[in-house]
Structure 1
């Protein structure tokens, strides 16, 4: 049975550290991690959750659509 607490955990497991030092999350990676804990969301549902509950990541997608990329940023100045 899926638990709500697993959603945030899945988000943290989806975070990737790039060679440049940026921390990013793709919608596809987040959905894949959710499936591991029995949550089956569309990319649109995953994006809605990220936009509502995660304030430290901003959308840096280069294309339109539901396959998006979010990057960690410092809201107090700087990236």
Structure 2
């Protein structure tokens, strides 16, 4: 049975740390980690959760569609 607190853990596990120091998250990776915790979400549901629960990641997707990419940013003025 899926647990509510597994969602945040799946989000954290899906964050990629690039050598440049940039941190990104792909919706598809988030969904993959959710599935490991018995959550079966669509791309749309995963994007909606990110947009409503996470304020420190912005959408940097360059193509149309629900498969999106988010990047960690400093909401106080810097990237």
Distance 1:42 1:20 in 2: 30
Aligned residues: 79
Structure 1 residue aligned with 2:27: 27
Stretches of 4+ aligned residues off by more than 6 angstroms: none
- Structure 1 residue 12: deviation in Å? 0.2
Structure 2 residue aligned with 1:51: 51
Secondary structure of 1:58's partner? strand
TM-score under structure 1 length normalisation: 0.98
* Structure 1 residues 66-77: aligned runs within 5 Å: 66-77=66-77
Structure 1 residue aligned with 2:17: 17
RMSD over aligned Cα, in angstroms? Answer: 0.5
TM-score under structure 2 length normalisation: 0.98
Unaligned runs of 5+ in 2: none
Structure 2 residue aligned with 1:61: 61
Distance 2:56 2:36 in 1: 24
